[in-house]
Amino acid sequence: MSKPKRPPPAESRNATAPKSGGKVPTVRIADLAAASRILAAQGVVDGFGHVSMRHLSAPDRYLMARALAPALVTPKDIIEYDLESNPCNAAGRPSFLERFIHGEIYKARPDIMAVVHSHSPSVIPFGLVDVPMRAMFHNAAFIAAGVPVFDIREKFGATNLLVSDGAKGVALAEIMGSHDIALMRAHGSVACGPTLEAAVFRAVYTEVNARIQHWTTALGEGSPIAALDPEEGRLADALNLGAGMRAWHLWRTMVRSQVKW
């Protein structure tokens, strides 16, 4: 096991590193770093998990922190990647092993601008038993469109469960299809959105929704659950993308009270 205080072996400056897609406004880099801390503060991620954002002006690039616990991320930890998940500007900073989740989703889904990958404990059960996650309340409306489950074992046999290369990322993106969420068996989940704020919002309320569904299932003891239907889901999700973003304002304010960016 590598000692935590010893820096990882520096990658030699790669002559073939992809070119940058151009400068991203400082404020959005800060928002992306803040998103990591927000997800940690909301209990969606712990020492693991990551959030990325598509490059604002170059759709074939995305931005994500170096391999680091989300609660510790700062703007200077953000690395730019191409959609093969090769770093443009690593400068010796190590990358997340599972960055292929992000790259392959951005490739497959031009409408998605941000991706959160997490292992929140309340969500994992829905990938382990044959009970679909459903939308328990309006804040989790995007779930009403359905939640596919990706089992890495089906295509790749016994693995360490990580989506650690492009092929696995492709397989995950295929299972996700046109949904904005996918569960990963015995591992975690992915939540996506048309903006960074929306993806964070959805990841947070997926976790809350999971807790509500656990309680509801136990309370009802098998009786039907009056969850959102798909049309209610569409209508409420549209709302969440707008007025619902009051939560982001709160969360970003809380991060700002702790850091200067």
User: Known catalytic residues?
Assistant: 98
Interaction mask 181-220, its own copies, x per CB under 8 A: ----xxxx-----xx-xx---------x--xxxxxxxxxx
Query: Would you say 86 and 168 are in contact if contact means Cβ atoms under 8 Å apart?
Result: no
Q: Does 259 bind its own copies (CB under 8 A)?
A: no
- What is the rounded CA–CA span in Å between residue 1 and residue 148? 35
Q: Which is nearer to its own copies, 5 or 13 (CB)?
A: 5
Out of 10, 91, 167, 225, the only residue in the binding site for its own copies (CB under 8 A) is 225
Q: Mark the segment that binds its own copies (CB under 8 A) among 14-22, 68-76, 80-88, 170-178.
A: 68-76
Out of 56, 108, 145, 247, the only residue in the binding site for its own copies (CB under 8 A) is 247
Kindly report the backbone phi and psi dihedral angles of residue 74, in degrees, each rounded to the nearest multiple of 5, phi listed first.
-125, 165
**DSSP E strand stretches across 205-246:** none
Of 93-152, binders to its own copies (CB under 8 A) are 97, 119, 121-122, 124-131, 135-139, 141, 151
Supply 2's token pair. Answer: 């590598």
Nearest to 48 by CA among 117, 95, 101: 117
For the bound state, the minimum distance from the C-beta of residue 9 to its own copies, rounded and expressed in Å, comes to 12
For the bound state, the minimum distance from the C-beta of residue 256 to its own copies, rounded and expressed in Å, comes to 10
Q: Which is nearer to its own copies, 91 or 239 (CB)?
A: 239
Supply 136's token pair. Answer: 């328990």
Handedness of CA 225, 230, 231, 232 (dihedral sign): positive
* CA atoms in the 13 A half-sphere facing the CB of 199: 30
